[in-house]
Chain A
């Protein structure tokens, strides 16, 4: 405890000094001007508005807090709070002292610009946010402490498991509560709870899309499609361990199958949505196998490069002028007809959200079954040691192809729905960046598990949309968030726990579910 406080004070002093230095080189106004520009002010002038300087100060506090908590992931929440607050307060006091001195300069009209060029009266006033000196100092210190507390909050939120573990250890009443809760959901009421949970979820899933506006349905539909894509790529990369990069090509195959069969131009075939979707899924799976056959011997980087090439070839083919009559060329294909269900056409985002939710459920179900099956174990064996897997009698080529085919089929499904929902598809929707997006979402979310994939899709596809309100801050905030996440959780937001079963009971053959961490 004492060492913790001592450490935090040291961190506070270090970063306090850094902040004093920053102010003395007018870094605060520089950042303030940058923030002002990002938020759309054309000409913020030499001294930015006070709110940007306050934002800067809070960021500084955040920095202090993060530094004070670095490598302290496993502290209990209370200790984290103490450490973050102490460090924040100490550096706030240091900065406060500096500002007090600056106030002295201001009040006594000491002209020191000759020595320290930046310390003009205007600058000092701006640093105090244009408030009265006392108030300015209080606000500065408050902002720094607020920032450090924010860091504590972030640290706790991003390390929930660690914190939970400590709750279990430290606070017996919480432990008891937790035990009770676990017993309630695990014990003989397990089934009841499961049913209650599923019903609540089902009700939410059925009614929420109706209440939402079409914008939100659009956003969450997109997230859902990326969940399907993420699960598909996770089968290939996460389960069978093949680093495939041009994954979006399979999505393109699904989308174009839908478009070519279900749009008036260029072929006017006008198939129904469902057969077109099915064919798209099958063609994607088939192309997965066709891509797979020649690359079965490749591993690691080579596999990544070759599959990346495959993705680009598909896109270039779709875009090529030569094939314009067949694929619509660079302009893509318009007026894709929507699905019909029970004789009634899909005409709103709500309908599509239901369709997508059904797709997500199907994909999750398939993913889950596969992971826990013999096939899942064969994939794990291949991932761990392909040669030994072969020596154990696993037909590695078959299983690797199977992973490619199923993963590709997921992408085909998402692609078909996507094209039909947008009533349009074009070659540039299927660029390399999209493949990388999908790969990032499974890396951010946590490789190889369903909740991670869902969270990753929300973070990478949903959050940017939600952050749209913050207009120009969006990219900055988003980038910062990603960096922050990768730093605090390099193994993804939800690290993979392979569902594992105790050895089958000889008598009943029943399996007990348990989780072991893997993929560290």
Chain B
């Protein structure tokens, strides 16, 4: 178990966004966290990455408690979040965005290797490396956001709705890339509203509803679970 989220509750002032939720991520897995808008998916990720603090419960990474560790220290430990909504630095050029991703890396040689790795995965970004991030298309910006995450050398990648607002073809591409990243040894926690796509590539999944986990299990089982089909897959059946 690389990540163990144990019974956490998170509040925004009086608003109770997460109530006693637990989930785990094993080494090499893709785990999908699905749920409707406002279910608490981003809140969960932000808690893991240290941007938010739970009021109760704890987050463990490789067996040690990281609940009160600062976000930058968590980045250093290898847990990298790709925030939702393609949040790139619009005024920085593509390579500077990548450079920001490797902000905690001190070794220039390592950074250089990562550039090569990232440019190989995303040739488009290499072509546009001296162009301000804000001038990229939506799909390219999402790729840049993921690439920026990869620059930190993640052991665990937290992806927040990477398919949001992208055309089906682009979503397909992005999900291929996610699988590829996973194959090279990065465990992935994938937050999605697009439950079908997410469960299709995931090993396991959790279904969040208004701050609680209402279902969990193998991705295949969830794909065929009638509740999931009705609530999140628009009633359509999958094979």
Binding stretch for chain B, among A136-144, A199-207, A382-390: A382-390
Contact between chains at B92 and A391 (CB < 8 Å):
no
Q: How far is the CB of B127 from chain A (nearest CB, A)?
A: 12
Asked whether, in the complex, the Cβ of B89 is within 8 Å of the Cβ of A393, the reply is no
Q: Of the candidates A388, A498, A519, which one forms a contact with B87 in the assembled complex, judged by CB atoms under 8 Å apart? A: A388
Q: What 0/1 readout, one digit per residue, does chain A (380-404) give for beta carbons within 8 Å of chain B?
A: 1100110111111111000000000
Chain A interfacial residues counted at CB < 8 A: 26
Q: Is A369 an interface residue (CB 8 A)?
A: no
Cβ of B100 < 8 Å from any Cβ of A? yes
> Which residues in B have their C-beta under 8 angstroms from that of A391?
49, 51, 71, 75, 80-81, 83
Nearest residue (CB) in A for B112 is A506
Q: What chain B residues lie within 8 Å of A388 (beta carbons)?
A: 83, 87-89
The docked-state distance in angstroms from the alpha carbon of A394 to that of B104 is: 8
Tell yes or no: B99 within 8 A of A by CB. yes
B76 within 8 A of A: yes
- A518 with B91: CB separation less than 8 A: yes
Give the complex CA separation of A269 and B83 in angstroms: 57
A387, B52: Cα distance in complex, Å: 11
- Kindly state whether residue B5 has any CB partner on chain A within 8 Å: no
A388 to B83: give the CA distance in the assembly, Å: 7
Residues of B within 8 A of A374 (CB): 103
Give the CA-CA distance A503 to B94 in the complex, in Å.
Answer: 9
With an 8 A cutoff between CB atoms, is B90 at the interface? yes
Contact B101 A384 (CB under 8 A): no
* A395 & B72 in contact (Cβ 8 Å cutoff): yes
- Contacts of A499-520 to chain B: CB distance below 8 A: 500, 502-503, 506, 509, 514, 516, 518-519
| Known interface pairs A387-B83, A506-B112, A516-B132; A392-B91 also in contact (CB < 8 Å) | no
Given A381-B89, A387-B83, A516-B132, check contact A392 B96 (CB 8 Å).
no
A384, A391, A393, A500: most-surrounded residue (chain B CB, <10 A): A391
Q: How far is the CA of A384 from the CA of B90 in the complex (A)?
A: 8
B104 partner residues in chain A, CB cutoff 8 A:
393
A384→B81 contact, CB < 8 A: no
Chain B residues within an 8 Å CB radius of A395 = 70, 72
Contact of B91 with A390 in the complex, beta carbons under 8 Å: no
Bitwise interface map of A from 155 to 189 toward B, beta carbon under 8 Å scored 1, else 0: 00000000000000000000000000000000000
Decide if B93 touches A392 in the complex (CB within 8 Å): no
Residues in B whose Cβ lies below 8 Å from that of A498:
91
User: Is B206 an interface position by the 8 A CB rule?
Assistant: no
- The reply to whether B93 and A500 contact each other, CB–CB distance below 8 Å, is yes
A-B contact pairs, 12 of them (CB 8 A): A377-B99, A380-B89, A384-B90, A384-B92, A385-B89, A393-B75, A498-B91, A502-B95, A503-B129, A503-B130, A506-B112, A518-B132
